[in-house]
C-alpha cells in the first residue's frame, strides 16, 4: 500500500470519540468497497467441524469485529485466513483478487498482518529488532549486499530502522526500543506485536484478542490505538471477548457459534439479535 492511499484514508476518517454511529454511516457510504471476503470457509479437525461455511465481508476502512463463545471458531478462521491452517472448503478474496493462503509469508506479503492470542514476540530480540523484522517482506537486502555492506544495503537498513522507530513512537514504545522484548510488561508486549504487524505495511490488520488480560486503562489506550490505526487507513479485523469494547469500537460485527456464522451486522442490531443472545446466554436448544 502506498502513502497517498493512507493519507486519503486519514482524511476520510477523522477520529472522533463517538464511533459506532458515525463510522457506521461512513462504512455504508462505501458499501461497495470490499477489502476482504471469506466465502463459505470450511475447516474440519477430525470429527469436529470447526468452521462450517463461514462467510464474512470486511469493507475497506472499517473496524470489523468477530465475536462468539469460546470454541466458536474465531481463531481457526484467523489461522485459515493467515495461512497457518489450510481450509477444506471455500475461498478468501482480498483486495479484489483470490487470496493465496498457501503459506503465511505469502499472506503477509499480500497485505494481511496479524497478532496472536497468546503473544508471540521474538523474546530474546530487542523491542526495536522485533519491529525491524516486520519490515522483512517489504525490503530486499540479500546476503551479498549485507557482507559487502553496499550503499544500497546501508540506506535500506537505516530506512528500516527509522521506520521501526517511527512505529514504536506510534504505539508509544519508543522509550523501550533497546529493551529485550520478553522483559516488557504484558500490555506493552501486546502493543509491540501491533507495531511489528504494522511494519509489514498491511492493508488489513488482524488482531486476535488484543485486550485479553488488560486492565481498564490499558484497554482504553488500546481502543484509542485501534481507532487511530483505522483513521490512518488500515482496515482492522478484531477478535475480542470484551463485548463492551467490540460494541463500542466496531463498525460491524460477525458472530460465530459452533463454527457457523449466525449474524453479521452493525453492533446495535447484533445486540438485539435473538440468536446471538441465545448463543451467549446458552438458552438454546442444545
Partner 1 sequence: MSEPGLSPISADRASAGAASAGPAGVGPAGAVGRRLRVSAWVIALLILPLVVDATAGRAWVRILDVSLIFALLAMGLNVVVGFAGLLDLGYIAFFAVGAYAYALLASPQFDLHLSFILLLPLGAAAAALFGVMLGAPTLKLRGDYLAIVTLGFGEIIRIFLNNLNRPVNITNGPFGITRIDPLSIGSFSLAQPHTLFGITIAPIHAYYYVLLACVAASMVICRRLQFSRIGRAWVAIREDEVAARAMGINTRNLKLLAFAIGATFGGVAGGLFAAVQGFVSPESFTLYDSIMVLCMVVLGGMGHIRGVVLGAFVLTALPELLRLTGSLQRTWFGHVWIDPADLRMLLFGLALVLMMRWRPAGIWPAPHGRVGT
Q: Which of 136, 221, 260, 273 binds partner 1 (CB under 8 A)?
A: 136
Q: Which of residues 11-30 bind partner 1 (CB under 8 A)?
A: none
**Contact status: 94 vs partner 1 (CB under 8 A):** no
Is the distance from CB of 102 to CB of 85 less than 8 angstroms?
Answer: no
Q: Report d(CA 230, CA 211) in Å as an integer.
A: 17
**Contact status: 120 vs partner 1 (CB under 8 A):** yes
Exposure pattern of 199-232 as b/e (b: 16+ CB <10 Å)? Answer: bbbbbbbbbbbbbbebeeebbeebbebbbebbbe
Q: Which of 95, 157, 265, 275 binds partner 1 (CB under 8 A)?
A: 157
Closest CB 271 distance from partner 1, rounded Å:
30
Residue closer to partner 1 by CB (options 67, 195) is 195
**Contact status: 114 vs partner 1 (CB under 8 A):** yes
**Contact status: 234 vs partner 1 (CB under 8 A):** yes
Is the distance from CB of 87 to CB of 45 less than 8 angstroms?
Answer: no
**Contact status: 95 vs partner 1 (CB under 8 A):** no
Which one of 22-30, 127-135, 255-263, 276-284 is the stretch in contact with partner 1 (CB under 8 A)? 127-135
3-state secondary structure 44-58: EECCEEEEEEEEEEE
**Contact status: 118 vs partner 1 (CB under 8 A):** no
Is the distance from CB of 131 to CB of 101 less than 8 angstroms?
Answer: no
Q: Report d(CA 271, CA 252) in Å as an integer.
A: 11
Phi, psi of 247 (to 5 degrees): -65, -30
**Contact status: 71 vs partner 1 (CB under 8 A):** no
Q: Which of 61, 65, 73, 233 binds partner 1 (CB under 8 A)?
A: 233
**Contact status: 123 vs partner 1 (CB under 8 A):** yes
Amino acid at each position: 500500500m502506498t502513502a497517498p492511499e493512507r493519507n486519503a484514508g486519514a482524511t476520510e476518517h477523522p477520529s472522533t470519540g463517538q464511533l459506532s454511529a458515525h463510522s457506521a454511516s461512513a462504512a455504508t457510504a462505501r458499501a461497495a468497497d470490499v477489502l476482504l471476503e471469506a466465502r463459505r470457509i470450511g475447516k474440519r479437525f477430525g470429527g469436529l467441524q470447526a468452521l462450517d461455511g463461514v462467510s464474512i465481508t470486511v469493507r475497506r476502512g472499517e473496524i470489523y469485529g468477530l465475536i462468539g463463545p469460546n470454541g466458536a471458531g474465531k481463531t481457526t478462521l484467523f489461522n485459515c485466513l493467515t495461512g497457518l491452517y489450510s481450509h477444506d472448503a471455500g475461498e478468501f478474496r482480498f483486495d479484489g483478487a483470490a487470496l493465496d493462503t498457501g503459506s503465511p509469508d505469502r499472506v503477509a506479503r499480500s497485505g494481511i498482518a496479524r497478532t496472536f492470542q497468546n503473544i508471540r514476540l521474538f523474546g530474546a530480540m530487542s523491542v526495536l529488532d522485533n519491529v525491524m523484522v516486520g519490515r522483512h517482506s517489504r525490503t530486499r537486502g540479500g546476503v551479498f549486499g549485507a557482507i559487502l555492506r553496499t550503499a544500497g544495503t546501508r540506506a535500506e537498513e537505516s530506512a528500516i530502522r527509522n521506520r521501526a522507530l517511527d512505529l514504536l513512537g506510534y504505539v508509544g514504545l519508543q522509550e523501550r526500543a533497546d529493551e529485550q522484548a520478553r522483559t516488557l510488561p504484558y500490555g506493552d508486549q501486546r502493543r509491540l506485536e501491533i507495531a511489528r504487524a504494522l511494519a509489514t505495511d498491511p492493508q488489513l490488520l488482524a488482531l486476535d484478542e488484543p485486550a485479553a488480560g488488560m486492565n481498564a486503562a490499558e484497554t482504553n489506550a488500546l481502543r484509542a490505538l485501534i481507532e487511530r490505526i483505522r483513521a490512518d487507513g488500515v482496515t482492522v479485523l478484531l477478535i475480542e471477548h470484551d463485548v463492551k469494547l467490540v460494541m463500542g469500537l466496531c463498525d460491524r460485527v460477525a458472530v460465530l457459534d459452533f463454527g457457523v456464522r449466525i449474524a453479521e451486522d452493525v453492533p446495535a442490531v447484533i445486540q438485539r439479535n435473538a440468536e446471538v443472545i441465545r448463543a451467549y446466554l446458552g438458552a438454546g436448544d442444545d
